[in-house]
Amino acid sequence: MRSNKQNRVWTTSVVVLGLLLVVLTGCKPRQDPGVVPVDQPRAKIRIVDGLSVNSMHVMLASKLGYFSEEGLDVDASYVALGKLAMDALNGNSAEYVGIVDMNVAQTLFTHKDMAILCEFSEPIRGIKVLGRADKGVKSGKDLKGKKIAVFFGVNIHVFIQKYLQEQGIEQGQVEFVNFKPPDAAAAFISGAVDAVVTWEPLVYNIQQKVGDNVALLTEDSQAYWPYKLLLVTRQTRLVQNRDEARRVLRAMIKADEFIKREPEKAYGMLASHLQIAPEVMPGFCKEIHYEVRLTPRLLDMIRFETEWMPKNLPEFFKDKLPVTTDFRSLVADELKSLKPAACQIQ
């Protein structure tokens, strides 16, 4: 049996030997891949996202400190239209943007320097067609011969075309009026148009002002044509900054987990961010599917949209072709490396 003195000597020898091995082999303590070393420079990046009920992840990641936890110094700003965010990416005034699939499809007629990092939301019942009951529009079939406000060249433009087709109404049997969403809502409220295609919170505002004269014609976004909110950077930047992109994605995943874990708090923060009454925000948010993921349908939507534009927006896209039809090449693999189950695109 060893004496206490012998035990101490033996223990000391093991410790000394261990330290010697560390010095000789250059071993370093294991670093959790999800933790940014304190001595690592903080990456300064600009993110432009949408100002809407669909866009929650960037705001949460910023306000809850998830970007900071990933060693990122993020300047986040918010715009009313995806086109403005896309312009920021194209003009090098943002490194990452929150846009919709249609913005990607439109840009493909100019260039393909885009890398889709993830989807983060999609309307389930978020797109709605409203009719003026006091002008005889109480069902979809009543739209024949009526004036409909819709923002041209975006997903709701496709949505109303598919809806009318289901109702047996040809496009020549209605009058489309091109309005940006807030202006479309104003035109509907004033009675300048008979119907409108829009989303929350504009629907809520319309119902508050028009009251019983609002007829809800449809609210099933998936049945016709929804849209997907995407986090996008430039391919040329991604090649040189893959670690940075993974850190941005990890912060988005943390925000996603927060939404699932504490939805009411997330809805409250979004209400404050958008300056919307907190009591109505849960109803809006429950019409949106929030999830960081990548799905095969995204590629199908972009493919359809690049074919749809020359036919339906000839003043901009007539006789033009997208610079690539390899839509899979636009999707980055960073999400798959971080959360394989969330990436359904092969």
Residue 293 included in any domain:
yes
Q: What is the pLDDT of residue 126?
A: 86
| Residue 39's pLDDT band (cuts 50, 70, 90) | low
Q: What is the pLDDT of residue 7?
A: 46
CB 255 within 8 A of CB 302: no
Residues 6+ apart with CB under 8 A from 296: 344, 345
Q: Kindly state the average pLDDT of the residues 189-196.
A: 98
Q: What is the pLDDT of residue 17?
A: 41
Single out the residue in 224, 256, 278 at which a domain terminates: 224
Residue 15 included in any domain:
no
Residue 232 included in any domain:
yes
Same domain, 192 and 331: no
Q: Which of 332, 232, 247 is nearest to 73 (CA)?
A: 247
The token duo for 239 is: 């090649």
Single out the residue in 208, 224, 240 at which a domain terminates: 224
Q: What SS3 state is found at 64?
A: coil
CATH number for the domain harbouring residue 304: 3.40.190.10
Same domain, 107 and 131: no
CB 255 within 8 A of CB 68: no
Domain region containing 200: 127-224
| Residue 62's pLDDT band (cuts 50, 70, 90) | very high
CB 131 within 8 A of CB 105: no
Same domain, 231 and 338: yes
Same domain, 197 and 266: no
Query: How many Å apart are CA 159 and CA 164, to the nearest integer?
Result: 9
CB 115 within 8 A of CB 232: yes
**Average model confidence (pLDDT) across the chain:** 90
Q: Quick check: 13 pLDDT over 70? A: no
CB 159 within 8 A of CB 197: yes
DSSP-derived letter for residue 179 is -
Which of 19-23, 276-280, 298-302 bottoms out in mean pLDDT, i.e. has the lowest? Answer: 19-23
Q: Kindly state the average pLDDT of the residues 98-105.
A: 97
Q: Kindly state the average pLDDT of the residues 123-144.
A: 95
The phi, psi pair for 304, rounded to 5°, reads -60, -45
Residue 17 included in any domain:
no
Same domain, 337 and 246: yes
Same domain, 204 and 274: no
Residue 165 included in any domain:
yes
Residue 321's CB is within 10 A of a number of other CB atoms, namely: 11
* pTM to 2 decimal places: 0.86
Give percent above pLDDT 90 in the chain.
83
Same domain, 140 and 83: no
Q: Quick check: 267 pLDDT over 90? A: yes
| Residue 219's pLDDT band (cuts 50, 70, 90) | confident
Residue 107 included in any domain:
yes
Residue 152 included in any domain:
yes
Q: Kindly state the average pLDDT of the residues 143-171.
A: 95
Q: Quick check: 153 pLDDT over 70? A: yes
Same domain, 156 and 291: no
Report the domain count for the chain.
2
Same domain, 277 and 331: yes
Which one has a higher pLDDT value, 346 or 143?
Answer: 143
Residue 299 included in any domain:
yes
Which one has a higher pLDDT value, 22 or 266?
Answer: 266
Same domain, 301 and 329: yes
CA 243 from chain center: how many Å?
A: 21
Q: Quick check: 23 pLDDT over 90? A: no
Same domain, 148 and 252: no
| Residue 220's pLDDT band (cuts 50, 70, 90) | confident
Single out the residue in 182, 208, 224 at which a domain terminates: 224
Query: What pairing do the DSSP bridges indicate for beta strands 43-50 and 175-178?
Result: unpaired
Residues 6+ apart with CB under 8 A from 108: 302, 306, 322, 323, 324
Query: How many Å apart are CA 228 and CA 159, to the nearest integer?
Result: 13
Same domain, 53 and 157: no
